[in-house]
Structure 1
Amino acid sequence: MSEPLTIDIWSDVACPWCYIGKRHLEQGLAALGADAPDVRIEYHSFELAPDTPVDFAGSEVDFLVGAKGLPRQQVLTMLDRVTGVAAEAGLTYDFDRLQHTKTLKAHELLHFAKAHGRQLELEERLFRAYFTEGVHVGRLDELVRLAEEAGLDGSAAREALESGRYADDVQEDIDRARQLGITGVPFFVLDGKYGVSGAQPAEVFAQALSQVAAERAA
């Protein structure tokens, strides 16, 4: 039996297009039905705004106005657009509830989850917590709770976060992204050699996966 087709995804918990891209990828795989290749998905860390404080004082609109230097109305229009695209993908975004924060500890937790075989479950839980439920994913207590809800041991998760055991793994992912020339997320690498940038439509993922699988078979 051949090895599964690998899908490496550079992503940030605070990236709205990353959650949409995740869902589009899943929908693309589902659309292939019985022809879908066996895949192994692994998430890699990327911090869009590493200088963000854990407790940012303000709304998502405030952050984007300050960070991007954009007019407030333009930011509101931009968020309305991404909310609409998310809805088309079956996701609910609530930017009024969203608590902007530094995502470093969330990335450390994702590496902990990977080591315990629950990374995909935690990735989904973190995205929903951040964009839909307004959970503060920069705080340890909240991260531990989400880890437990994703099927992980809470005490072990807390110890891993407090010790910073996975901080080097997060940095290695970020360094690798830089080496690959990745400057924005989501970014998907199929089978270690084909890059797909952005939250492409489901049909684009389906076509790309079919092509890679066909090349493998040949």
Structure 2
Amino acid sequence: MRTVEVFADVLCPFTHAGLRTLIDRRTALGHDEPRLRIRAWPLELINGKPLDPYHIGAEITALRASVRPDLFAGFSVDTFPASSMTAFAVTAAAARTGDAVMVEEVGMALRDALFEQGLDIAQREIVAPIADSFGLKALDAQETLAAVRADWDEGKARGVIGSPHFFTGVGESRFCPVLDISRDDVGNFVIAWKQGTEAFVDSLLG
């Protein structure tokens, strides 16, 4: 099965928009591959602090106003997770199976719970039913940290610069390949599709 490798944080709204766009296009084409092999790029560890829900909210406002008005229906700053590690405990368990389909579906189920259902996926009682639905047992804290750090170290070695960062099946490396992200004169996010996005997505999907 063909895969596309993506280093990403589970709490990153740009990743949610990008991955969902690829999956939507894949579905429209009637394809079932390539699958997205989602790896951990842990922003809270990289930045040394949790993600700011208000900053995330500003990113989401711009995403909804420009490229994906149909996404992020359930987002709330009040339920935004204080940490991604509880979710990474489940994605790391999925990665251990080596099942490309499961890795993608678990990653997207967690993002859907956060961004579309407004659930706090830092809470074990929230992520446990998701893990159970895939027959997974979340890793413990020590195992999760080791798995996340291993992905982070590998990503750094391969030149990952942010979330999401794609590695295609032909060895191409691209940071956030479908979204053009900037700020206006007063600091508001301005987001648009990158030039050549449709051609890139279709080439990725074969």
The TM tier, using the shorter chain, reads 0.7 to 0.9
Residue equivalent to 1:70? none
Unmatched 5+ residue regions in structure 1?
Answer: 65-74, 214-218
User: Per-residue displacement from partner, 1:56-79 (whole Å, max 9, x unpaired)?
Assistant: 9xx721xx3xxxxxxxxxx86544
CA distance in 2, matches of 1:98, 1:87: 21
Paired residue secondary structure (1:49): helix
Give the partner amino acid of 1:137: I
Paired residue secondary structure (2:15): helix
Give the partner amino acid of 2:73: T
Paired residue secondary structure (2:23): helix
Residue equivalent to 1:169? 147
Higher helix share: 1
1:135 to 100, 112, 119: 119
2:128 to 144, 147, 159: 144
1:11 aligns with 2:4: no
Residue equivalent to 2:198? 203
CA distance in 2, matches of 1:37, 1:138: 30
CA distance in 2, matches of 1:142, 1:106: 9
May I ask how many residue pairs the two structures share in their alignment? 184
User: Per-residue displacement from partner, 1:134-184 (whole Å, max 9, x unpaired)?
Assistant: 2222222222122123x224xx33xx225x334322111101111122121
Give the partner amino acid of 1:177: G
Task: State the TM-score, normalized to the length of structure 1.
Answer: 0.70
1:22 aligns with 2:22: no
Range 196-205 or range 112-121, more displaced: 196-205
Residue equivalent to 1:43? 38
Q: Is the 8 A contact 2:13 2:59 kept in 1?
A: no
Identical aligned residues as a percent: 18
Taking only aligned residues, the RMSD between alpha carbons, in angstroms, comes to 2.9
Range 80-89 or range 131-140, more displaced: 80-89
* Cα gap change, 1:27 to 1:79, in 2 (>3 Å): closer
Unmatched 5+ residue regions in structure 2?
Answer: 179-192
2:86 to 68, 87, 105: 105
Give the partner amino acid of 1:48: L
CA distance in 1, matches of 2:164, 2:145: 21
* Cα gap change, 1:76 to 1:97, in 2 (>3 Å): closer
2:108 to 105, 121, 124: 124
Give the Å deviation of 1:85. 4.4
Of the two, which has the highest radius of gyration? 1
